[in-house]
Amino acid sequence: MNTLVTKGVIDPPIPKFKEKATLILKKLDRVFDMSQAVPNSPTFPKIRELVSSEVATSSAVSFYTDILGNHDLRNAICAFHPLGKHFSTDEIMITAGANHAMYTALTTMLNIGDSILLLEPHYFNYDMAGAMLGLRAQYHVLQACKGFLPVPEAVIGSLEKTRAKAIILITPNNPTGAKYPAQDVLSIVRWCSSHHVEVFLDETYLCFDPNHLNVNEIGKYIGQGLSIVGSFSKSHSLTGYRVGYLISGVPQLKQAQKIQDTMVICASHIGQRAAYHGLQCCSDDVKKKVAEIDQLTRIMQDGCKKLKRFSLASCGAFFGYLKHPFSKLSSEEAALELLENTGIFGLPGEVFGNAQKDFIRLSFCNLSSSDLEVAIEGLCGYDSRVN
Ligand SMILES: Cc1ncc(COP(=O)(O)O)c(C=O)c1O
């Protein structure tokens, strides 16, 4: 069956690739699963304790919250966010994760047939969302030699050329881990705002960039052409609780509430309580997590210095973007080779765009430091055997 909405939309790429790798996975004694971005430890104990006591004792969490979400949580987001003084609780909607927030934002603010610019390598779920919503995706390919960072003049050139009505920026980035300088974000946002181009900025990995959006002026564009999508999945290990947010203007959120009410009414109440507790009580745990991710990044970067045939094209936040040496292979074939020979299970670059044939994404923060060290040692050994 292929309805108007899902026609031409790719299958969810991670389970699809897992299926292709089944035979190899069965043969391997040890697999380093870096395919889907999943934190290497469960939800912080303080949050789990709160959740277990609330489930047992609180009747409140049995019921819906407001459509926009729990007021305390929205307040806490204003307090924690680097641009928090530029928006109010009325300009935040709590969603069932960042994907849900982005889908809602695109549905609310764009029309069927509008062009939208994606920076390639792009996050596949937003490409899928655009296709489902009848948007016309255009791709601006970022260069490895520029650290996969968007050069504002070049991006603006692509926006003009494609007459795009919107652009998606993701910083820190999935799949490259690149952290966009706030000044460059501002240059793009400023131009877009004066040319009626909507900017949708995904900050799912914000905690892993100390300089994230640290230019105040960006804040004045919120609801004036800039909408921000975020998540508690990675920063607070809450992937299963499904909590994220959309920050935009009051008029935009008035429209977005129609979608929210129709689809989910509100994000999971217990999930919202968990995220609130996370913001109130777990700043030390988040700091520890950030330090751990810095350490994993160093292991990845130092270990990959020994590579001669493979190379680490980009690395940061949660991801390593590995360039493979097999010029005759597709990225899927190369990722399967890598899996078979090292147990490293990454995601083929072509999942992130047609020009990504030479790359494999490694979500290395899925692993403990000791597992990552073993995995990288195996990669170096394999690298020395490849002709
Ligand atoms: C850039 C980006 N946005 C959104 C998401 C989805 O996050 P959530 O679990 O909040 O829906 C992910 C998850 O990997 C992601 O990498």
34 and 111 in a single domain? The answer is no
244 Cβ closer than 6 Å to some ligand 1 atom: yes
Mutate to test the pocket of ligand 1, among 102, 168, 233, 246 (most ligand atoms within 8 A of CB): 233
Instruction: Look at the block and give the residue holding tokens 């190369």.
Output: 334
- Asked if residue 211 and residue 186 are part of one domain, the reply reads yes
How many structural domains compose the chain? 2
Report the mean per-residue pLDDT for the chain: 97
Ligand 1, atom 13: closest residue by C-alpha: 37
Which of 99, 203, 205, when mutated, tests ligand 1's pocket best, judged by the most ligand atoms within 8 Å of its CB?
99
Ligand 1 contacts CB of residue 231 (under 6 A):
yes
Tell me: do 31 and 67 sit in the same domain.
Answer: no
How far does residue 239's CA lie from ligand 1's centre (Å)? Answer: 9
- pLDDT above 80: residue 387: no
Residues 25 and 94 in one domain: no
Q: Is residue 230 located within the same domain as residue 158?
A: yes
- Is there an atom of ligand 1 within 6 Å of 207 CB? no
- Residue 55's pLDDT is what? 79
Band of residue 275 on the pLDDT scale cut at 50, 70, 90: very high
User: Does 1 score more than 80 pLDDT?
Assistant: no
User: Tens of pLDDT along 282-341?
Assistant: 999 999 999 999 999 999 999 999 999 999 999 999 999 999 999 999 999 999 999 999
Per-residue model confidence as pLDDT tens digits over 132-182:
999 999 999 999 999 999 999 999 999 999 999 999 999 999 999 999 999
Tell me the β-bridge partners of 327: none
On whether both 122 and 270 belong to a single domain, the answer is yes
Q: Which of 281, 298, 324 is the last residue of a domain?
A: 281
pLDDT band, very low/low/confident/very high, at 381 (cuts 50, 70, 90):
very high
Helix or strand holding residue 183 (H, E): helix 182-194
Angle (deg, nearest 10), helices 152-162 and 182-194? 30
Within this chain, do residues 38 and 49 fall inside the same structural domain, yes or no? no
Helix, strand, coil percentages (3-state) for the chain, rounded to 5, are 50, 15, 35
User: Is the residue at 8 inside a domain?
Assistant: no
Same domain, 118 and 259: yes
Q: Supply the range of the domain harboring residue 65.
A: 45-281
Place of tokens 């695109």: 106
Query: Which of 371, 349, 350 is closest to 300 using CA atoms?
Result: 371
State whether 98 and 217 are in the same domain. yes
pLDDT greater at residue 374 or residue 1? 374
CB 121 within 8 A of CB 97: no
**Residues 271, 349 within the same domain:** no
Say how many Å lie between the CA of residue 204 and the centre of ligand 1.
6
Q: Does 141 lie in the same domain as 100?
A: yes
Could you tell me how far CA 19 lies from the centroid of its own chain? 23
- What is this structure's pTM? 0.97
**Alpha-carbon distances of 192 from 163, 187, 248, rounded to whole Å:** 11, 9, 15
Closest to 147 measured CA to CA, from 116, 117, 187, 119: 119
Question: What DSSP state is assigned to residue 237?
Answer: T
Q: Is residue 264 part of a domain?
A: yes
The answer on 244 and 326 residing in a single domain is no
> Residue 96: which pLDDT band, with cuts at 50, 70 and 90?
very high
- Report the CATH number that the domain containing residue 302 is assigned in CATH: 3.90.1150.10
Predicted local confidence at residue 56, as pLDDT:
78
The secondary structure element, H or E, covering residue 253 is helix 250-263
* Cα distance between residue 347 and residue 382, in whole Å: 18
